[in-house]
Amino acid sequence: MWKRIVPYWLLIFTIGFGWFILAPLVNVIATKFNVSLTSVLFIISAYGYTMAILGLLAGYISSKFTVKVALYSSAILTFIGLLGRELSQEFLPFLIFSIIAAIAYPLAVAPVGNIAQTFFKRNPQAAVGISIGVLFLGMSIGSFVGPSIYSLLGFNLTLLIPVILSIISLAVILVGIKDYPKYYTKSLKGAFKIGMIKNWYVGLAVASILVMLGSVGSLVLEAQGVLSAVAIQFGGLFSGLSLLGSALGSIILPSIFKKRIGAILTGLLTFFSTLIIIYSFFTLNVLLISLGYFIFGFFGNAYWSIALALTVAYVNDPAEAGLATSMYSVISNVGVAIIPVFLGSLFANSSTIPLGGIIVIIMELISAIIAFTLKTD
């Protein structure tokens, strides 16, 4: 069964790689196209916007039609978006093609539960965890290698690498999912319960800060006098470590720690990691920053996954969990779409870094406190 999911994993790996290869290069992009930093951060957040806007629609497409339609569409849009992005000479087409690539994200992620339930009926949670882990692994490797490829090959050839990967992914998807079933069990039924808002806040706070931190590492170093080339390299390292931690955390921790103890432990350690990161931003201790980024990704994404799983505690019938979990993802990505764009710019100036740090700490403190109150049964 595992080989049947490999084409899907390659697709979501490609999406993650193409997304976060840009994260350490935000200043490079802003300089190249002569645009504001906020405009570039918007491109990083575009994946969040598309999930927030199209997440439920993507779930409906994979349910109403077939999962194959969603995955074929995602692979094609990934190729078109990444190719157009690489060929763009002006910022507007670069932005448009980046958004096209981002639209592939919800189309690929929405069917993950459907696929897991079909091919791994005995342990679908493990398949979901590994699938999300593969997405973060792609994001991590993109962030790790982006600065090195840029220093060796320049900007355009750096963007050509994910294009080549998207061609391979498209070919594998076209051949490899032909035997996927036409119909899957999928429900978006459910009712809103006020307690779900606590879970939604956790999803928003963790996901948005994870994406934002991945984009601001190099900015913080540059704002405090580190040479641009060095800052870009370290920015890729920091972002890559947080996303590698996210991949490992989403695969390992939710299966070990469940319900209340898991939520409390991961919530507290996520908050603790933000203290390490913000403190180390002022000391410019690279080792400490790296440690904080990895811990935040490892425990933060596990906390995100546990809070998602606990949304089902608010419904009496498991069949009604679809809306609760779908809305959790939508709200999380609303945070990804909005918060990095506005909060991230505070980390580009040494005078506003303290304000940005305080906001991040407060957000994650609230999230950690909520861990003690999440409904578990």
> Which pLDDT tens digit goes with each residue over 111-140?
776 677 677 666 665 677 778 888 888 988
In this structure, is residue 376 part of a structural domain?
A: no
* Residue-wise pLDDT tens digits, 261-312: 888 999 999 999 999 999 999 998 999 999 999 999 999 988 988 888 787 7
How is residue 10 annotated by DSSP?
H
Domain that holds residue 21: 2-176+186-371
Smallest CA-to-CA distance from 159 within 97, 214, 104, 215 is with 97
- Between 89-93, 234-238, 274-278, 311-315, the lowest mean confidence (pLDDT) is in 311-315
Give a yes or no: residue 280 inside a domain. Answer: yes
Q: How many domains does the chain have?
A: 1
Residue 321: inside a domain: yes
**Is 181 part of a structural domain of the chain?**
no
Residue 234 counted as domain residue: yes
Q: Is residue 96 part of a domain?
A: yes
Residue 189 has pLDDT above 60, yes or no: no
Instruction: State how far the Cα of 287 lies from the Cα of 306, in Å rounded to an integer.
Output: 29
- 364 lies in a domain? yes
Q: To 5 degrees, how large is the angle CA 117–CA 122–CA 123?
A: 75
pLDDT of residue 324: 66
Read off the CATH number of the domain in which 366 is found: 1.20.1250.20
Distance CA 22, CA 28 (A): 9
